[in-house]
Amino acid sequence: MPVEDESLSPPAREETVLWSGHSSQWVHFWWYFFCVLLAVAAVVGAIFTAGLSLVGLIIPLVMWGLRWWMTRTTKYELTSQRLRRTSGILNRTLDELELYRVKDYSVEMPLMMRIFGLGNLRLVTSDATTPVVDIPAIQGAMDVRELLRTAVQAERDRKRVRELDVDGPGGSIP
């Protein structure tokens, strides 16, 4: 029977939820705008086709509904140890990123999003399956970034993980 040495592994700490949320529907503004244009075209076309093109209203309504539902069912949860992303309408997918793997984070706040207090959070990681994680159009992106930064540092300290860059500033070893 194998013997586990407790001193080799860092002490387990209870995982707590620091933030949870989902992207704002504003992230799809242009998509929704296009759907409105299609709907207007279908209504205008109905004038010339005796109402036949009103059937064309189904397409933009379905497009709008699916995009809204996809955004609504994609949820993010930041805990003290990992970032979880759950997505999917019929088939659900769970992607987890251990926080000690986060190498860099940035916030982008385009004008349209800044008007509504939204921002995009981007994480660069050392994770093989998700080297870049984007959390688009979230409320309070700067606050979430600060929560993330604190949690990443705490998790690195707990696991005794440090980042080692072997490339020089030009991307290669001199």
pLDDT (average), residues 28-54: 86
Give pLDDT, residue 166.
66
d(CA 82, CA 152): 9
pTM of the model: 0.79
Over the chain, what is the mean pLDDT? 87
The rounded distance, in Å, linking the Cα atoms of 26 and 151 is 28
What's the pLDDT score for residue 41? 87
58-72 and 29-48 are packed helices; what angle lies between their axes, rounded to 10 degrees?
A: 160
- Please give the CATH topology (third level) of the domain spanning 76-162: PH-domain like (2.30.29)
Instruction: Give the C-alpha distances (Å, rounded to integers) separating 128 from 62, 82, 102, 105, 125.
Output: 35, 15, 12, 17, 8
Average pLDDT rounded to a whole number, residues 93-109: 96
Structural domain boundaries in the chain:
21-72, 76-162
Please tell me which residue, 131 or 59, carries the higher pLDDT value: 131
Between 7 and 133, the more confident residue is 133
Mean pLDDT of 56-85: 93
Compute the average pLDDT of residues 169-174.
54
Residue 11: predicted pLDDT: 60
Q: Say what the pLDDT of residue 20 is.
A: 97
